[in-house]
Structure 1
Amino acid sequence: MLKRFVSAILISAPLLTLALGSVSIVRAETPSSGTVSIMYFNDGHEISPVVDKLGTRGGVARIKTLIDGAADEKIVAFGGDLGGGTLFGGVFKGFPMVEAFNRIPIDVANFGQHDFDAGSANTLELIKAAKFSWISSNLVGKDGKPFGNVPTYQLYEKQGIRIGVIGLTSAMETTTPDSAVKQKNVIEAAKLAVDQLKKEQNPDLIVALTQEPVEDDKALLQAVPDIRVVFTEEEAEEKSFVYEVDGAVKRYIFAPQGNMGSIAHVTVGRGADGQLTLSHEFLKVDENIKEDGALAEFAADYQARLDQELGKKIASADSGLPYGEHHESRFQETAIGNLIADAYRDYYQTDIAFANGGGIRASINQGDFTLKDAKSILPFGNKIVVAEVTGDMLLAALENSVSAVDKVAGAFLQTSGLSYAYNPAKPVGQRIEQALVNGKPLDKAGKYRLALSNYMYTGGDKYTMFAGAKTVVGANEALTDFELLIAYAEKKGVLSAKTEGRITVNGFADVTSDHWAAQDIYGLSAKGIIAGVDVTRFAPLEAVTRGEFSGYLAKALGLGRPELETALGWSGAGLSEQLTREEMAVAMKWAYAKKTGKTPVSGSPGDTTFADDAMIDPVARAAVSELARDGLLSGRPDNRFAPKEPASRAEIAHVVWVLANR
């Protein structure tokens, strides 16, 4: 039984987020009769397991093993993205994944944005190849009817339980622009689909498969209370997440790991009172799961075909050109970004070339550079067009490029022929501080020939400023990004790109003007009290050690660091341990008293106003209570103090800045 893969814990909270790594979690609600399993996974870019620094995960052969292991009746659902986005998806355009899902088999699939990367005509062929049902409640064709004539919902009746499933997809602007498919408003479409489902089928349970951020899923549940379960897209490669939402009945949002790294398994039954019962778990799809033999052979055959097709050497690289462990191509200049932009500009001999950082998906290793390498780096196959644009359009494009750097958005521009400086601490639309074209100031009224992807040129990633530009080389006659990179590599023979000051970041890319601790972080940075983790990142969510915190406090308040650490009992190896939030409070109280000779406004040492007060260590509770009452300390969302959790770099910057200015 699948229960052998999980551990059970008791959970109770108005809104609880669980980040699940190697541990699976079950919510226990005991049914009195037969049960139905809903098994959901998504992000199927790779047919074989992904093996990287995060470990081993995914693979269709392991997915089948886990699904076959469910003993009760089941509904198997896929959430979207089986084509595009990676080398495998770009080469085979989703067809091997459809065949694999036919063999598992799955019952129903929602569309992901990447399922349209090769164009809607390709998506229609994927629908034809599927033995399972695609559904969409909000994607329509030119005729206003559901795209591909797929159903707007599916109804499954098992064990006397009627389960309705709808499908919702947002952010279609992030895939290949195609007039043959249109995205309708997700919430409005969901309301219509749910009303239709209730009227026609009278379901006991309504489930939504979504391709949208979790915050949008929460808004969906708020707007459409008849939806009880949402299965959504991945939030991380290494973790699964479940959000529990209290109401008349408990509702859930499930986000399994990316690259099919886990399966969300929800068991539906009826209690003795006739009401539905739900229990849930996440099943890890890792090396501990035995592969189904037939599907493992099927996947291996496709991997061999991929290697054979793309193994040809076309150049050599004299050094590695990393994409970036932290997705650096999405917020700063990278050597690989320069290489790609140079390839576009060189082929068309334009003044400028843009390469969007989100389109760069892999690194170049030192040594042989092959077709496989080129396709891995640029898997989407975007057409690179040429347009005559104005300086005003270029400036607007640069502002759009840096408008969401803190979110590591794919719109960030790598450039050739143009250099720019931006300040993330300034408001959106005012962040570009300098722009030079071939070393000369950008002429807003001037005209320039620009090479860029057709995706951006037609408005993708909010690049709408080119609407009035003159097309010089259109998509019909343009070559793909992949082809231009190959042509440039063959021409060069040896790839030796480097960073050379094309993009300057005046601040921290991950701390923008609207960050809650921006003033504190930049204030301490200006005084030399705290620095970034590198030249462009502050890493506000990263944890700090006790030793780091004591150093910041001592420097900011003019205190003796040895005295502070001795008073707190921190020494030796203990200084390298992560600082918890309750330890932060104790240290703050001591430092405040040492600096001012006063203690914070006294509150009751026995309690605080935080919802998780009982979790605070008695030694720390008085410090938390007094500092909070005096406005020196605050909690996290939902009125939690989270005493045992590590303090983040943004949080310690805030409290150090507050103390320094008292």
Structure 2
Amino acid sequence: MPLRSFASFSTLVSAPARAGAVLSSFVLGTTVAAAPAHTAHARDAGEALDLVILHVNDTHAFAAGVTPRGVACDRDEACFGGYARIARAVGDAKAAADNVIALDAGDRWQGTLLFSTSGPNLIASMSPFMPWDAVTLGNHEFDLGCRALADFIEQEPFPVLAANLQPEKGCALSDLKLPGYVVKTIRGVKVGIVGLANDEVVAISKACPETRFDDEAEAARRAVEALKREGVEIVVAITHEGYPEDRALARAVDGIDVIVGGHTHSLLGDQEDAEGPYPTVEHSPSGDPVLVVQAKRSTEYLGRLEVRFEAGRAVAWSGAPVRLAPEMPRDARLEAEVRRAAEKLRELRETPVARNANRYADGIDSCRRGECLSGLLTADAILTFGRPYGVEIALVNGGAIRSSLPVGKVDRGSIQEIHPFGNTIAVVEIDGRGILAALEHGLSDEDVEGPRLMQPAGLRYRVDPEKPVGSRLLAAEVRDAQGVWQPLDPNKHYRVALLQYIADGGDDFAMFAAARHIPVNDALDADVVTHYLESLGDIPMPETGRIVGYGPDKL
């Protein structure tokens, strides 16, 4: 999409019931040199409120920003996004007007070499300079367990909201008593902000067994009712459940005006690859408009939504996700923090592994949409590791791939960016019926694209993405000892190499948790991939055509 500045939006879209209303623009500048004084706006009874919501989601510790290929930067000078550009843009907007709130919809942890080397301290050191009014919790905030998360939250300078989180005794989070909502007064109007944390964290992350969640819709209803009793007129929810789930929530619960979401990395707007309009307009059970927004991932975009409210109801709106270009100004304090964190990366960047001349679909998004270079190479590496244990098949979930293989020099840091989670390799023995169920489960997202999609080695499978969930897998074949493809036998037992996370039943791959687990030497995924690529030297293009009918090879 063409780059837009915050000052480029001059019109609002009216709600159907208010079509034709004359609306003034909101003025927000991203290049304000100093913080000008502004006068508090006294609101007269019945006067409309113009509210500006700035938001991010799934920033994944991309503190220095992101390259056009989606790879995390170590330094932020020439990159898109990054914490320093976000903080400066939000800070300038708040300095210019008193009707701005700024929100982060979760998954601030994991995904970059900066986080792998510094851990939660990376985020904690930069939080004091981030101008958020509230944040919620994504699934990756639970990746180090509830104790580590509780220790982190205690340091946070802004509210961490989770109305649906109800940890039981024994969970480190139970002592925090996290608030479900916070109230801000904007130009005399009470605005409630409700947080809804990701509720899959026991299955897809490392939350403790005592972590419990209430039903999202019911938790939202309770929060809205409590806010209304406090005289709140406008309710904004920040969630980490996903774009389809946010739309369903909007249709299920009265009293929510705006939903700022995350988790699915959805880019909304008029871009060619957008998942939907910005904002996506749903309607509550009572018929009021509910505006749903999200702003992709990795700090590349800062969402900006302008809404006019009359009598507590949204009557007009405008906005878009704004791409934070390299030339945009940065916050000097965060620039310094990023430089300090990057010093820890030097040794990893100076350790060569291999060379790559291949250009193929790759990275965190591509690996959820079909075959990807890093996924295929990882599966090949894990299959090679597993051969001495009788392994015939390797499967890697697309969500495990967090970056793309660089073109040119591949260093040790590049491998850790692709595999930042520290997974070990597991081997299971399972019948073909279980493998077919796992492949089908990998295709179970609404539009197929998702973190459960399996990148295979020693196996290939055919997909029809147009079929209903549960019937998209058409066929699967296994390569025998002679190199010939044979149909996967539902009754035969195969040895399969996997990441331990999936072997333990993560992402609801229960069939692997129930399978027979074969003892193997401990080996980290990043180490296995490093050794495999080192053995190749100049990396050849891996065999493609392993996922047929979906992704870059729609054969």
TM-score normalised over the length of structure 2: 0.76
The 3 A distance-change label for structure 1 pair 425 and 130 is closer
Alignment partner of 2:67 out of 51, 54, 57: 51
* Whole-angstrom distance in 1 between the partners of 2:526 and 2:454: 17
**Aligned match of 1:40:** 55
**Aligned match of 2:379:** 341
What is the RMSD of the two structures over their aligned residues, measured on CA atoms? 3.9
Alignment partner of 2:297 out of 255, 258, 263: 258
1:110 correspondence with 2:136: yes
Tell me the SS of whatever aligns to 2:475: strand
Deviation at 1:223, TM superposition (A): 2.0
1:65 correspondence with 2:88: yes
* Whole-angstrom distance in 1 between the partners of 2:440 and 2:318: 44
> Pairwise mapping of residues 288-299 of structure 1 onto structure 2 (< 5 A)?
288-299=327-338
The 3 A distance-change label for structure 1 pair 385 and 300 is same
AA partner of residue 197 (structure 1)? L
Deviation at 1:90, TM superposition (A): 4.0
Deviation at 1:182, TM superposition (A): 3.8
Greater mean deviation of Cα atoms: 156-165 or 316-325: 316-325
**Aligned match of 1:191:** 221
The 3 A distance-change label for structure 1 pair 484 and 274 is closer
AA partner of residue 472 (structure 1)? I
Contact 1:386 1:452 in 2 (8 A): yes
**Aligned match of 1:218:** 247
TM-score normalised over the length of structure 1: 0.65
* Whole-angstrom distance in 1 between the partners of 2:496 and 2:505: 15
The 3 A distance-change label for structure 1 pair 323 and 266 is closer
Superimposed CA distance per residue, residues 333-362 of structure 1 (whole angstroms, 9 cap, x where no aligned partner):
455333212322333434132112232233
AA partner of residue 134 (structure 1)? V
The 3 A distance-change label for structure 1 pair 151 and 456 is same
Structure showing greater Rg: 1
**Aligned match of 1:638:** none
> Which has the larger helix fraction?
1
Contact 1:406 1:509 in 2 (8 A): no
Greater mean deviation of Cα atoms: 277-286 or 413-422: 277-286
The 3 A distance-change label for structure 1 pair 454 and 185 is farther
Contact 2:57 2:104 in 1 (8 A): yes
Contact 2:295 2:321 in 1 (8 A): no
AA partner of residue 503 (structure 1)? R
| Structure 2 unaligned blocks of 5 or more | 19-24, 29-41, 71-77
AA partner of residue 216 (structure 2)? V
> Pairwise mapping of residues 397-546 of structure 1 onto structure 2 (< 5 A)?
397-404=438-445, 406-424=447-465, 428-429=470-471, 431-438=473-480, 439=484, 440-473=486-519, 478-490=522-534, 492=535, 494-500=537-543, 503=546, 505=548, 508-509=549-550, 535-536=553-554
* Whole-angstrom distance in 1 between the partners of 2:146 and 2:514: 26
* Whole-angstrom distance in 2 between the partners of 1:3 and 1:353: 46
1:85 correspondence with 2:137: no
* Whole-angstrom distance in 1 between the partners of 2:149 and 2:214: 18
AA partner of residue 182 (structure 2)? Q
Deviation at 1:110, TM superposition (A): 0.6
Deviation at 1:309, TM superposition (A): 4.0
Tell me the SS of whatever aligns to 2:429: strand
AA partner of residue 163 (structure 1)? V
Superimposed CA distance per residue, residues 85-121 of structure 1 (whole angstroms, 9 cap, x where no aligned partner):
3443444334323332322332321112222234333
The 3 A distance-change label for structure 1 pair 78 and 447 is same
* Whole-angstrom distance in 2 between the partners of 1:269 and 1:378: 44
Deviation at 1:394, TM superposition (A): 1.6
> Pairwise mapping of residues 307-326 of structure 1 onto structure 2 (< 5 A)?
308-317=346-355, 319-320=357-358, 322-324=360-362
1:9 correspondence with 2:53: no
Superimposed CA distance per residue, residues 13-45 of structure 1 (whole angstroms, 9 cap, x where no aligned partner):
5599xxxxxxxx8699x9657977544322322
The 3 A distance-change label for structure 1 pair 35 and 410 is closer
The 3 A distance-change label for structure 1 pair 393 and 289 is same
Alignment partner of 2:266 out of 226, 235, 242: 235
* Whole-angstrom distance in 2 between the partners of 1:314 and 1:270: 56
The 3 A distance-change label for structure 1 pair 321 and 270 is closer
Deviation at 1:65, TM superposition (A): 1.9
Larger relative contact order, structure 1 or 2 (CA cutoff 8 Å, min sep 6): 2
AA partner of residue 192 (structure 1)? R
**Aligned match of 1:162:** 190
Contact 1:388 1:450 in 2 (8 A): yes
Deviation at 1:376, TM superposition (A): 1.9
Contact 1:138 1:189 in 2 (8 A): yes
Tell me the matched-pair count: 496
Deviation at 1:187, TM superposition (A): 0.9
The 3 A distance-change label for structure 1 pair 13 and 41 is same
**Aligned match of 1:628:** none
The 3 A distance-change label for structure 1 pair 403 and 216 is closer
Contact 1:135 1:152 in 2 (8 A): yes
Contact 1:27 1:279 in 2 (8 A): no
| Structure 1 unaligned blocks of 5 or more | 17-24, 511-533, 538-662
> Pairwise mapping of residues 614-633 of structure 1 onto structure 2 (< 5 A)?
none
